């Protein structure tokens, strides 16, 4: 059984009631909420450790239009945590490997792929598709400042995720004019001062936990459910199995970017968590 609705591109599609039955049964979601998910458009920057669970759960949830940005190829060392890829896709561009896996999971999706690193030169073309939410699945700080700046300028909420060894962080920035990344981290640390996952290591299941939380926040934003992690930084310690929540507000002294050419320089996304 299916119900007609308009997708994120304004095209008439049918909602598979059987596929999304457990969502539709929820009073907070229902058929109307599932239609919102069908009509939504989400950009995921990075198809690595964080991007893997994010993309899988968004696809399963029925997000109508998913964008994937990544310039890397699948490597054997990725498979310890980047569960969207497989041994058979080693050597393939991650955007292609991820797209094919998502379409196996949910063939109704509309997927846009961008096989490139996010940079000020490419931002305009990528963001021309009017995304409702942006998700950070990257592994370097300059890219996060660029995401923050472009989302601020375009009034788009974005979901932050970060992992290192046994610790992960999640927050939501620029939600309903709420605090931004630059409010919490006003100054970037010196280059190479924060090790990547490749340099410092990461517990394989950690990005699964953090990425799932990012997908959860994204779905809440689209559906208008619960309390979004805006103005709160959630910190997870996998060794001690603890969650802490730190509150933060707008920083009146933070730098406000009005031109993306002034944003922090963008580094490679090869170490996409």
| Residue 185 and residue 50 in one domain | yes
5, 180, 197, 266: which one is catalytic?
Answer: 197
CA atoms within 13 A on the CB side of 179: 23
- Establish if 273 belongs to a structural domain: no
pLDDT the model gives residue 267: 45
Structural domain range at position 31: 1-35
Selection from 10, 39, 6, 14 nearest residue 223 by Cα: 39
| Residue 8 and residue 27 in one domain | yes
Rg (CA), the chain: 18
CA atoms within 13 A on the CB side of 116: 11
Q: At what angle do helices 30-39 and 206-223 cross, to 10 degrees?
A: 110
CB 170 within 8 A of CB 210: yes
- Establish if 208 belongs to a structural domain: yes
| Residue 54 and residue 30 in one domain | no
> Catalytic annotation on 197?
yes
| Residue 23 and residue 80 in one domain | no
Residue 163 CA to residue 191 CA, distance in Å, equals 18
- Establish if 267 belongs to a structural domain: no
- Establish if 268 belongs to a structural domain: no
| Residue 75 and residue 24 in one domain | no
Cβ contacts of residue 239 below 8 Å, gap of 6+? 166
- Establish if 53 belongs to a structural domain: yes
Residue 101 CA to residue 89 CA, distance in Å, equals 10
CB 146 within 8 A of CB 123: yes
- Establish if 45 belongs to a structural domain: yes
| Residue 24 and residue 109 in one domain | no
DSSP-H helix ranges across the chain:
21-25, 30-39, 51-61, 94-105, 120-126, 141-154, 181-184, 197-200, 206-223
| Residue 135 and residue 84 in one domain | yes
Residue 266 CA to residue 135 CA, distance in Å, equals 16
User: What pTM did the predictor assign?
Assistant: 0.91
For 67-93, give one letter per residue: b (16+ CB within 10 A) or e: bbbbbbbbeeebeebbbbbeeebeeeb
| Residue 135 and residue 11 in one domain | no
Q: Count how many domains the chain has.
A: 2
- Establish if 146 belongs to a structural domain: yes
Question: Distances in Å between the alpha carbon of 223 and those of 36, 65, 170?
Answer: 7, 15, 19
| Residue 59 and residue 10 in one domain | no
| Residue 147 and residue 174 in one domain | yes
| Residue 247 and residue 221 in one domain | yes
Selection from 12, 67, 71 nearest residue 39 by Cα: 12
| Residue 16 and residue 81 in one domain | no
Q: Read off the CATH number of the domain in which 126 is found.
A: 3.40.50.720
Mean pLDDT by 10 residues, the chain (273 residues): 56 78 95 95 98 98 97 97 98 98 96 95 92 95 93 96 96 96 84 68 95 98 97 98 96 77 52 57
- Establish if 269 belongs to a structural domain: no
Nearest 5°: the CA angle 239, 189, 249 is 75
DSSP state of 129: G
pLDDT the model gives residue 222: 98
């Amino acid at each position: 059984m299916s119900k007609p609705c308009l997708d994120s591109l304004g095209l008439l599609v049918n909602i598979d009631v059987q596929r999304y039955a457990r969502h539709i049964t929820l009073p907070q979601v229902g058929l109307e909420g599932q239609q919102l998910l069908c009509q939504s458009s989400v950009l995921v920057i990075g198809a690595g450790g964080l991007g893997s669970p994010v993309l899988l759960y968004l696809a399963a949830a029925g997000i109508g239009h998913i964008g994937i940005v990544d310039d890397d190829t699948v490597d054997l060392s990725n498979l310890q945590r980047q569960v969207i890829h497989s041994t058979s896709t080693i050597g393939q561009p991650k955007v292609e490997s991820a797209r094919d896996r998502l379409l196996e999971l949910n063939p109704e999706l509309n997927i846009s792929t961008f096989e490139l690193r996010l940079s000020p030169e490419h931002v305009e073309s990528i963001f021309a598709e009017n995304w409702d939410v942006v998700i950070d699945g990257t592994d370097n700080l300059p890219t996060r400042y660029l995401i923050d700046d472009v989302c601020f300028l375009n009034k788009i909420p974005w979901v932050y995720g970060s992992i290192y060894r046994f610790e992960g962080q999640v927050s939501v920035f620029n939600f309903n004019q709420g605090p931004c990344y630059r409010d919490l981290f006003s100054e970037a640390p010196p280059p190479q001062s924060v090790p990547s996952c490749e340099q410092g290591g990461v517990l394989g299941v950690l990005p699964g936990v953090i990425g799932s939380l990012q997908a959860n926040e994204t779905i809440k934003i689209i559906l208008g459910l619960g309390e979004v992690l805006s103005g709160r930084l959630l910190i997870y310690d996998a060794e001690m199995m603890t969650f802490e929540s730190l509150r933060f507000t707008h920083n009146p002294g933070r730098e406000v970017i009005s031109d993306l050419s002034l944003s922090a320089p963008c580094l490679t996304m090869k170490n996409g968590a």
